[in-house]
Amino acid sequence: MVKIQSEKTNWIPEAFQRSAQTIAKDAVKRFVKNNQVIGLGSGPMAAAIVKEIGKISSDMKKTLQCIASSTQIKQEALSGNLTIVDENLIPEIDIVFDGADQVDSKFNMIKGGGGALLKEKVLHSAAKTIVITAESFKFVKSFNRSVPIEVHPFALYTLQNKLESEQVAAKPELRTLNEGYPYITENGNFVLDTVFQSIPDVRNKEIELKNMPGVIEVGLFTKLANVYYKAKDDNSFDAIKL
């Protein structure tokens, strides 16, 4: 059954907005240095950090090169007069700033609520340092939300059937726009928001799904970040270093 995509991915809940701004200031002060290649994840938490990078001195900004994971974050970066470069510099990424839809007790993540999971995972895979920011309620013992799976349109119905099979026992739903049309990623693919009864081994599930023909990328992120910022609703935050 097709489900209208209603998840809000372009805003930070009001109770967390001040802590998100404080985190952005702390992250930029601690991690942004001259002559870096910076990967920019997508979503509101990443956008808050991009805005803060845009406030640094012009001389320092001139030494930075940024790679954006989505058009949304690219526009945010350009509005702050940051230099956007192409994917040729991905192997040289010094740091990635990104958000997360959920973080489990082992610091695996679900990402892709905004649809940029493919480019985000590529940036993560190449980065020397990963910094994640998320609201406190997104830190959970075990995942309890759907996993975005980016799929090639040619394989949509085959993958829906495979995910619904007794062997996988998942519930995939095609992400759609409010008008009912399929949501299409910037890469020209569809997204299946997929509910699993449980995911006891996140790494194995990521590999299992990636091995299905037609799956482009999976919103299970098992490469651990270096720092996780947990934004709280009292304007404070925790910084968890691994």
Q: What is the pLDDT of residue 2?
A: 39
212 lies in the same domain as 232:
no
**Claim to verify: residue 110 and residue 163 sit in the same structural domain:** no
Same domain, 41 and 114: yes
Phi, psi (degrees; rounded to nearest 5) at 176: -130, 165
Do 194 and 136 lie in a common domain?
no
| Residues 112, 50 within the same domain | yes
Per-residue pLDDT of the chain (242 residues; tens, 9 = 90+): 334 343 444 578 888 999 999 999 999 999 999 999 999 999 899 999 999 999 999 999 999 999 999 999 999 999 999 999 999 999 999 999 999 999 999 999 999 999 999 999 999 999 999 999 999 999 999 999 999 999 999 999 999 999 999 999 999 999 999 989 999 999 999 999 999 999 999 999 999 999 999 999 999 999 999 999 999 999 899 999 98
pLDDT of the residue at 15: 87
Q: Are strands 227-231 and 237-241 parallel, antiparallel or unpaired?
A: antiparallel
Question: Which CATH number does the domain housing residue 153 bear?
Answer: 3.30.70.260
Task: Report if residue 6 sits inside a domain.
Answer: no
Q: Which residues pair with 122 in a beta bridge?
A: none
DSSP alpha helices (H): ranges in 135-178? 156-164
188: alpha, beta or left, given left = phi > 0 and alpha = psi -120 to 50? left
Report the predicted TM-score, pTM, of the whole model to 2 decimal places. 0.93
Does any domain span residue 53? Answer: yes
Residue 71's contacts (CB-CB under 8 Å, 6 or more residues apart) are 186
Structural domain for 52, as ranges: 14-140+222-241
User: For the domain that residue 115 is a member of, what is the CATH number?
Assistant: 3.40.50.1360
Statement to judge: residues 40 and 131 lie in one domain:
yes
- Identify the CA nearest to 24 among candidates 16, 35, 14, 36: 16
Tokens linked to 73: 């974050």
How far is the CA of 112 from the CAs of 70, 150, 172, 185, in angstroms?
Answer: 11, 9, 15, 10
The whole-angstrom separation of Cα 235 and Cα 242 is: 23
Same domain for 150 and 102: no
- Whether 65 and 94 map to the same domain: the answer is yes
Question: What pLDDT is attached to residue 27?
Answer: 98
Residues paired with residue 231 on neighbouring β-strands, in sequence order: 135, 237
One domain for residues 70 and 127? yes
| Total count of domains within the chain | 2
Give yes or no: residues 47 and 128 share one domain.
yes
Residues carrying an active site annotation = 120
182 located within any domain: yes
- Quick one: 33 and 72 in the same domain? yes
Task: Give a yes or no: residue 9 inside a domain.
Answer: no
Is the residue at 1 inside a domain?
no
Same domain? 122 vs 181: no
